[in-house]
Amino acid sequence: MPAPDMVDGQLSGSRCAIEGVSIKGLFALLVLSLLLPSGATTSSKSGTCHKTCLCASNIVSCSKMNLTGIPMAFPRYTAVLDLSFNQISKLKAEWTPVKLSMLHSLLLSHNGLTFLSSEAFLYVTQLRYLDLSSNGLKILEEFIFEPLEHLEVLLLYNNYISQIDRTAFSSLNSLQKLYLSQNQIQRFPLELVKERNRLEKLTLLDVSTNRLKLLPIQELQVLPAWIKNGLYFHNNPLPCSCELYSMLARWHRQELSSATDFRDDHTCLLPGAQKEKALTLELNKVHLNCSTVTILDEEAYLEQFIRLGCDTRQRYMLKSWVLPGNVQLSSGNQSSRVLSDGSLQVGPITLEDSGIYTCYAVGESFNETLYVTVLVHNATQAGGQEGMKTAYTTLVGCLASAMMVLIYLYLTPCRCICCPGQGLDKRAPGDSLHSSILSVSPTHEDTGPEGGGGGGGAFDKPPFNRHVTYLDPKGLLEQNGRLSPCGEEDEEWQEEDRGRQEQRRKSDAESLSSVCSDTPIVV
């Protein structure tokens, strides 16, 4: 057993050694803390849960703590951060000094938020769920959510949003559900669902209970069913119209959730100063007397190719077809085949292709069965077009014939000598009984000064002249067998002959007047 003096000496030596080591250790830690960067010190503190929050594994809940600002330095392993029901009015860029790469859910509802910094989400790029509902937001600026490429659900309902920049959601390529209800939005965000600009994975867009007064009905009607199924626009001051009724009625017949789940909330304002509300799906009964919506069958012609769509309420479903007569579609079928998008192409069409086609769609959450009726006409589409062409040709021919008749009746120039201004020149030497009874050769020639100053009449040098005269039987009888005078006959006979010629000229002119009568004689 050691002596007491020796024990006391050892204990006193050990105390001195311990005190020396502790002093050196504290000095080393002090030097190390000064040499390390500020981020390292922060990281050491970020490993613990904040005293005002509750932590359970990777979930940090700071809800209902009357916070006016966001606590600093959350643990890096935080996956869910709940800051709802506080008094945080601004989300600044430096709200988290470290990158929270594990954070996938951020809850900031019921805080009275009025400001979002454009750099507020730089350190939380892995977010998949963001709740900003029930706040005081009024404007969504351009590219405000640009860093959130993996965001799937965004809640913005129950705010005061009235202005949304067209690029606010443009970078959210993974967004599936967007809630914008109970705001003051006046413009439908068509860019989110339109064919070339839409978010490809967006399946739910809620713009109900806003201030929408106009819907792009034509653009919405052509959207696929899996988009229309999650497009909610009820409780908006939309004007009543048959177009709105027709669109919503079709959605209701297709059993789309956006129409069936809120059937009684789809209202519109009737025309008039009182602006009374009416159920949109009842406009065909009382108010506007709109036509009842019926889904028409597919019509086809012989030798035509048609495409039957299987427009399901859910995207990415496994689709199969059954032909009329409950015939299973096989790979050996040459006239029918399933395309890459699940639609069925049939052709060239025959009369046997008429009937009911059935599409069976199998999905993760539910299955669907769609029926398409095809009616085949016993004619080719080209034949119908040829018939229309023949009808048009016949009509044009009839019109042309009628025009020709009108031109002939009213625009043909008068070629009768008896017409006004076209008197017969009695001094023309060729107008004799011997030369103009039946003649097709020119007989009226220019007579110079005696013919009326150059003969400017309508019958001056015509190509053909047709004369119709009535012969005097008595004159012909008297001249019949008589020789023509050659200058050796007596004067009495010549004077008698001249008198008879003048009388024949008068009868000739009278006979020509009969040509312009109601019954002309043409030779």
> Between 136 and 327, where is the model more confident?
136
31-35, 192-196, 294-298: which has the highest mean pLDDT?
192-196
Task: Transcribe 342-378 into DSSP letters.
Answer: S-EEE-S--GGG-EEEEEEEE-SS-EEEEEEEEEEEE
Predicted confidence at residue 326, as pLDDT, reads: 83
Tokens of 292: 């009842």
- pLDDT > 60? residue 313: yes
- pLDDT > 90? residue 265: yes
Task: Tell me the sheet residues that pair with 300.
Answer: 376
Predicted confidence at residue 503, as pLDDT, reads: 59
Predicted confidence at residue 495, as pLDDT, reads: 61
Note whether 98 and 42 are within 8 A (CB).
yes
> Between 114 and 369, where is the model more confident?
114
SS3 of residue 270 by DSSP: coil
Q: How far apart are alpha carbons 461 and 443 in whole angstroms?
A: 8
Average pLDDT over residues 125-137: 97
Q: Across 117-193, where does the E strand assignment appear?
A: 129-131, 139-140, 153-155, 163-164, 177-179
Mean pLDDT value across the chain: 76
Average pLDDT over residues 248-270: 93
Average pLDDT over residues 14-36: 40
Average pLDDT over residues 16-29: 41
Q: How many angstroms from the chain centroid is the CA of residue 11?
A: 96
- pLDDT > 80? residue 457: no
Q: How far apart are alpha carbons 325 and 327 in whole angstroms?
A: 5
- What's the pLDDT band for 505 if we cut at 50, 70, 90? low
Note whether 53 and 77 are within 8 A (CB).
no
Q: What is the pLDDT of residues 463-492, one digit of tens each?
A: 444 444 444 544 444 444 444 444 444 555
Beta-carbon contacts of 4 under 8 Å, excluding residues fewer than 6 positions away, are none
Note whether 445 and 516 are within 8 A (CB).
no
Average pLDDT over residues 189-208: 90
Average pLDDT over residues 209-237: 94
- pLDDT > 90? residue 333: no
88-92, 359-363, 453-457: which has the highest mean pLDDT?
88-92
Percent of the chain residues topping a pLDDT of 90: 36
Q: DSSP label at 323? A: E
* Parallel/antiparallel/unpaired status of strands 344-346 and 306-308: antiparallel
- pLDDT > 80? residue 192: yes
- pLDDT > 50? residue 446: no
Average pLDDT over residues 310-336: 85
Tokens of 29: 């830690």
The total number of residues shown for the chain amounts to: 523
Average pLDDT over residues 156-160: 97
Q: Scanning the structure block, which residue is given the tokens 């705001």? A: 183
Percent of the chain residues topping a pLDDT of 70: 67
Average pLDDT over residues 428-456: 45
Tokens of 96: 């988290």
Cβ atoms within 10 Å, residue 16:
10
- pLDDT > 90? residue 289: no
Predicted confidence at residue 111, as pLDDT, reads: 96
Report how far apart the first and last C-alpha atoms of the chain are (Å, whole number).
174
SS3 of residue 154 by DSSP: strand
148-162, 249-263, 301-315, 339-353: which has the highest mean pLDDT?
148-162
Predicted confidence at residue 388, as pLDDT, reads: 61
Average pLDDT over residues 323-337: 83
Average pLDDT over residues 441-458: 45
Predicted confidence at residue 44, as pLDDT, reads: 37
Predicted confidence at residue 386, as pLDDT, reads: 55
SS3 of residue 277 by DSSP: strand
> Between 363 and 234, where is the model more confident?
234
Note whether 480 and 500 are within 8 A (CB).
no
Predicted confidence at residue 73, as pLDDT, reads: 79
Average pLDDT over residues 247-252: 92
Task: Tell me the sheet residues that pair with 371.
Answer: 358
> Between 68 and 506, where is the model more confident?
68
Biggest CA pair distance of the chain: 210
- pLDDT > 90? residue 229: yes
Q: How many angstroms from the chain centroid is the CA of residue 297?
A: 22
- What's the pLDDT band for 417 if we cut at 50, 70, 90? low
Cβ atoms within 10 Å, residue 191:
16
Single-letter amino acid code for the residue at 136:
G
Predicted confidence at residue 146, as pLDDT, reads: 92
> Between 326 and 2, where is the model more confident?
326
- What's the pLDDT band for 30 if we cut at 50, 70, 90? very low
